[in-house]
């Protein structure tokens, strides 16, 4: 109370700050009540504004995520010759064991994988052991800030129009020429892709036009959208007869095992 008395002594008007305890208390109580009411009103308004903003943002986010996760790409895209269904991979051979390969042409692990297994898989396709389905993904484009995976996947589709052997050769050639990742820079030009086709015997205006015009862009988008439904959490991902292959293991052994299982 001494502090308050000190404050009152310093009052400029000279008159005592309190004329009777009762009156002052009532005045203070009324002042406080009024202030509390104003505060409450402000708080309520602010909370309503915030609640509405939160609701709008939530609806926007949920709407976007819902649409994105149900987006399967264009419904009726032009398909390369070796693709059997909308959004499907490129199918090689007609063997008894199904090998599904999910790759991104810019993925460095895929390059290693192709170095290890590329020719072996090609040989098994030729010998009629396996049906190889290659799904060319393009998620690395957003990471690397380019369009190279989409362009290569499209060119792979174009190569599939030329024939099974040409498409497999082109596929390996792209991996062979895959440069080190440089974010912000394209991994290859359209001319590079056209040229690599020429290297494996794919020539002519149809090829060049298909690569440069991205004839199969819609299909590439479908394949990209199909990856999350398949639960692809990295590339390369390989399924042997529907079973996810453990990348630490030996793929040739896994395929041999599947072949043996079918012969019994």
What the block records as the tokens of 210 is: 């298909």
Pull the structure tokens for residue 181.
């990742």
**33 belongs to the binding site for other proteins (CB under 8 A):** no
Spatial strand order in the sheet of 97-104: 90-92, 130-137, 97-104, 237-240, 243-244
Question: Is 227 a binder of other proteins (CB under 8 A)?
Answer: yes
Using the rule CB under 8 A, is 7 a contact of other proteins?
A: yes
- Give me the least distance between CB of 87 and other proteins, in Å please: 15
Per rule CB under 8 A, is residue 61 in the interface with other proteins?
yes
The residue among 44 and 96 lying less far from other proteins, judged by its C-beta, is: 44
CB closer to other proteins out of 180 and 248: 248
Query: Is position 14 an interface residue for other proteins (rule: CB under 8 A)?
Result: no
C-alpha distances in angstroms, 253 versus 16, 213, 243? 100, 41, 14
- Number of neighbouring beta carbons within 10 Å of residue 227: 18
Instruction: Name which position in 128, 189, 247, 252 contacts other proteins (CB under 8 A).
Output: 247
Shortest separation between residue 42's beta carbon and other proteins, angstroms? 5
Question: Using CA atoms, how far apart are residues 199 and 196, in angstroms rounded to an integer?
Answer: 5
Separation of alpha carbons 52 and 253, rounded Å: 59
Assess 62 for contact with other proteins (CB under 8 A). yes
Residues 30, 33, 50, 59: which binds other proteins (CB under 8 A)? 50
């Amino acid at each position: 109370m001494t502090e308050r008395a000190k404050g009152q002594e310093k009052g400029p008007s000279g008159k005592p700050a309190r004329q009777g305890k009762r009156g002052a208390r009532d005045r203070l109580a009324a002042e406080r009540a009024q202030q509390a009411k104003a505060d409450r009103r402000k708080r309520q308004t602010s909370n309503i504004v915030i609640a509405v903003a939160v609701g709008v943002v939530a609806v926007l986010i949920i709407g976007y995520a819902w649409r994105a996760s149900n987006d399967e790409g264009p419904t009726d895209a032009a398909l390369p010759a070796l693709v059997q269904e909308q959004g499907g991979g490129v199918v090689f051979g007609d063997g008894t064991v199904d090998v599904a390969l999910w790759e991104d042409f810019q993925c460095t692990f895929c390059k290693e994988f192709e170095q290890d297994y590329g020719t072996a898989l090609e040989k098994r396709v030729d010998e009629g052991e396996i049906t190889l389905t290659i799904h060319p993904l393009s998620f690395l484009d957003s990471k690397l800030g380019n369009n190279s995976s989409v362009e290569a996947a499209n060119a792979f589709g174009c190569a599939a129009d030329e024939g099974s052997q040409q498409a497999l050769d082109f596929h390996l050639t792209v991996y062979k020429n895959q440069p080190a990742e440089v974010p912000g820079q394209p991994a290859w030009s359209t001319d590079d892709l056209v040229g690599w086709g020429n290297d494996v015997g794919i020539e002519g205006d149809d090829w060049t036009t298909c690569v440069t015009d991205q004839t199969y862009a819609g299909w590439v988008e479908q394949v990209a959208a199909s990856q999350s439904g398949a639960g692809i959490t990295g590339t390369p991902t390989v399924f042997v007869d529907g079973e996810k292959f453990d990348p630490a293991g030996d793929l040739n052994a896994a395929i041999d095992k599947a072949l043996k299982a079918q012969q019994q």
